[in-house]
Amino acid sequence: MNLETDQPIPAPATAAPAEERGLRRAWAIVRSTFHWLLSAAYFFPVCSFLVLLGIFVDPRRNDGAQRMLCRVVMKAAGAKLVVRRSPGFDPARTCFLLINHVNLFDPFVLYATVPQFCRGLELESHFRIPVYGWMMKRFGNVPVPDVNRPSDLKRMWRLTRAALDSGVSLAVFPEGQRTRDGRVGPFKDGVFRMALQFGTPIIPVSVVGSFDFNKKTSWLIRPGTVTVYLHDVIETKDLRKGDFPALRDRVHAIIASPIEEARATARPAKTSR
């Protein structure tokens, strides 16, 4: 049998999908660059203005403008924010707000959705970042020492207590680092020890969809919905020092629950493609 033919040899079956993947990648880069530039172009001048305004005006009096800043930044970045409040959530309580740490947008997501005046505990090294560090210091964030020297830890506890006593709630990422796989990592003990010593209530906060929006391992942005769950207030005033492991595990389970539920729901959809 003569297998020779004048018909052109077809291209490999993988050529079209590879080209399609390349186009999707190029579009993702263009789209992400646009969202980063748009959000940065809004954030830096407006935030600088609010910081300067804070020199003359009590930051609590322009809290609405700060929230608007965060909402617009998230919208410019391509995120639609949705809030789910539990019946036991009380916005009037001064508390520790414990939130899962996903990406650099977490502080904006939190402040755009939590209806109370709050500041954050942030690594002291961040305060040395040009422009950003100056802004965060002026906003009143509490520095967390990179090295656990007794004198630095005492200063952090003193500043934390002063903020809480003045009615300022403090946002904390108890994992201490951003997730790499979308799951909630182990929690550090420090904030739970402080909550028990100060008798400060805890409000767990779950952020769902943020990992798909932007990952620590990639600068690409995938516009989508980010849902924030504000859970019931957890009282600590009647707990003892030895109760902190159980408290830590309880808060971890509460924060992780809607995140794991969303992962389980999304998994069949991915495998069916």
Q: How much is the pLDDT for 9?
A: 53
Q: Summarize the confidence of residues 198-208 as an average pLDDT.
A: 97
Q: Is the pLDDT of residue 29 over 80?
A: yes
Residues 70-95: what's their mean pLDDT?
96
What is residue 75's predicted lDDT score, i.e. its pLDDT? Answer: 97
Confidence of residue 51 (pLDDT cuts 50, 70, 90): confident
Q: Answer whether residue 13 shows pLDDT above 70.
A: no
Q: What ranges do the domains of the chain cover?
A: 79-271
Of 1-5, 25-29, 49-53, which has the strongest mean pLDDT?
Answer: 25-29
| Strands of the chain, DSSP E | 79-85, 96-99, 118-123, 142-144, 169-172, 202-208, 224-230
Topology annotation, domain 79-271: Glycerol-3-phosphate (1)-acyltransferase (3.40.1130)
Q: What pLDDT is attached to residue 3?
A: 46
Burial of 157 (0-12, 13-18, 19+ CB in 10 A): middle
Chain segment 145-198, per-residue pLDDT in tens: 877 788 888 888 999 999 999 999 999 999 989 999 999 999 999 999 999 999
Rounded Cα distance, 62 and 47, in Å: 12
Distance of alpha carbon 101 from alpha carbon 177, whole angstroms: 6
> Does the pLDDT value for residue 206 go beyond 90?
yes
Query: Tens of pLDDT along 226-250?
Result: 999 999 999 999 998 889 899 999 9
Q: What percent of the chain has pLDDT over 90?
A: 63
In this predicted structure, what is the pLDDT of residue 14? 52
Q: What is the pLDDT of residue 138?
A: 73
**What is the mean pLDDT of the segment spanning 40-62?**
85
Asked whether 41 and 19 are in contact (CB, 8 A), the reply is no
Distances (CA, A) of 50 to 94, 207, 219: 23, 26, 27
Query: What residues are paired with 120 via a beta bridge?
Result: 171
pLDDT at 7 exceeding the cut of 70: no
Residues in CB range of 138: below 8 A, 6 or more apart: 51, 54, 55
Higher pLDDT, 100 or 4: 100
